[in-house]
Amino acid sequence: EAQVTQNPRYLITVTGKKLTVTCSQNMNHEYMSWYRQDPGLGLRQIYYSMNVEVTDKGDVPEGYKVSRKEKRNFPLILESPSPNQTSLYFCASSLAFRGDGNQPQHFGDGTRLSIL
């Protein structure tokens, strides 16, 4: 089954304790992306990756890191989490970024992070 898998689904942790949220897709997609979703703000793009070893900042990259060493995996790293990073996080992938075409983003089911 084609899917985007995020882990963990839920995490409660404390300020400053490094954490990684994993994201894996089995569709051989080139474009992958991380978003955070906060009430009243919609989804905001944190980082995106056009392909292996190619990553770039989205609109809200502060406090986050990513890597893309393999095509299928795109982990999100919070080196020193803070309470303002408490949010619902989504990973998404698409075959490619085709702004002029039909390239739907496939989303994972989300990771709810609470940072105390």
The answer to whether residue 71 forms part of the interface with other proteins (CB under 8 A) is: no
And the tokens for 46? 């944190």
List 53, 59, 70, 79, residue binding other proteins (CB under 8 A): 59
Residue 47: count of CB within 10 angstroms of its CB: 23
The answer to whether residue 97 forms part of the interface with other proteins (CB under 8 A) is: yes
The answer to whether residue 90 forms part of the interface with other proteins (CB under 8 A) is: yes
Site for other proteins in 23-42 (CB under 8 A): 31, 33, 35, 40-42
Please report the DSSP string for 6-31 in residue order.
Answer: EE-SEEEE-TT--EEEEEEESS--SE
Contact 104, 96 (CB under 8 A): no
Q: List contacts with other proteins (CB under 8 A).
A: 4, 31, 33, 35, 40-45, 48, 50, 56, 58-59, 90, 92, 97, 99-110
